[in-house]
Amino acid sequence: MRHILLIDDDVELCELLAAFFSGEGFDFSAVHDGPSGIAEALSGNYSVVILDVMLPGCSGFDALREIRARSRVPVLMLTAKGEHVDRIVGLEMGADDYVPKPFNTRELAARVRAVLRRTEPENGDERSEEIGGLSMNTMSRSVSVDGRSVELTGTEFRLLELLMISAGHVVTLDRISQDVLGRRYSAFDRSIGVHVSNLRRKIGPYCDGSERVRNIRGEGYVLVFPDRPETGKERLVP
C-alpha cells in the first residue's frame, strides 16, 4: 500500500487528511516539525511526502534541501495562497509539485496520484535512450551524461523521458503539462519553465556549448540532436 508522509504543524489538518487518505486506500503518517520530517522522509518508508512551507524547527525549504540532498522521494509542497515566489522556489529546489492553501482534499489527492503515476516505474516497461552522450534507462530510473551519473527528481525524469522519445520535435506545453504534471496547461503556471530550467542545469549543454533543450517560444520545448542545425521548423508533438 502506498504510504504518504505529511510534514505540517497543523495537528487538526493532519488528522483530517489522515482520515481522508485512509478512506482513499493510502497508509498515512504525519509529523509536526522540520527535523522530524526530514528524518522520516529519509527513512525510505514513504511513497510521497507532502511538505508545508511554514514549520517549527526549520522551514519547509530547509527540509526540502536536506531531503533532496539524499533522496529522490516525490515531494509535494503546501504553499500559502498567492505566494507565487514560494512555489517557484520550491520547484527550483526539487519539489515535484505544489498545492496552495487552503485546498480541496480531493484536489490534493488527485495531485498525489498524479505525482505517483509519473514517478513510479511501470512494471515490465524498460526502455533505454541515448542521444549525444545523454543516456537514460526507464527500469533503473538512471540518467547519465558522458558516463557521469545525474540525479533527477521523478518529475525531471519524466520530463526528460518525454523529450527524449520525441527528440527533434517540439513537445507542446499542453502535452508536457498533461503527461509530466498531470494537469491541464495554464499560461499562468510557471512550473514547466522551472522544471525545464532545473533539468537543463543538471544535464548541461553539449560539448560544443550548444543547448540540449531548446525553448520554442509559446509552443513548447525540443531536445535537439548535437549534429542537427537549428531550422526553426521542428514539427510539433501534440
Q: Where are the domains of the chain?
A: 3-119, 128-237
pLDDT of residue 182: 83
pLDDT of residue 230: 47
- For Cα atoms 49, 200, 135, give the angle at the middle one, nearest 5 degrees: 85
Terminal C-alpha separation, the chain: 35
The per-residue DSSP string of 3-56 comes to EEEEE-S-HHHHHHHHHHHHHTT-EEEEE-SHHHHHHHHTTT--SEEEEESS-S
Predicted TM-score (pTM) of the model is 0.70
Exposure class string for 56-70: b at 16+ Cβ within 10 A, else e? eeeebbebbebbbee
pLDDT of residue 235: 54
Same CATH fold assignment for domains 3-119 and 128-237? no
The CATH architecture that domain 128-237 belongs to is Orthogonal Bundle (1.10)
Looking at domain 3-119, its CATH superfamily turns out to be: Response regulator (3.40.50.2300)
pLDDT of residue 121: 60
Share of the chain above pLDDT 90, in %: 52
Tens of pLDDT along the chain (238 residues)? 689 999 999 999 999 999 999 999 999 999 999 999 999 999 999 999 999 999 999 999 999 999 999 998 999 999 886 678 888 888 999 999 999 888 889 889 988 988 887 776 655 556 678 888 999 888 778 899 988 999 998 889 989 999 998 888 899 999 999 888 888 888 888 899 999 999 999 999 998 888 999 999 889 999 998 865 444 444 555 5
Q: Which amino acid is at 137?
A: N
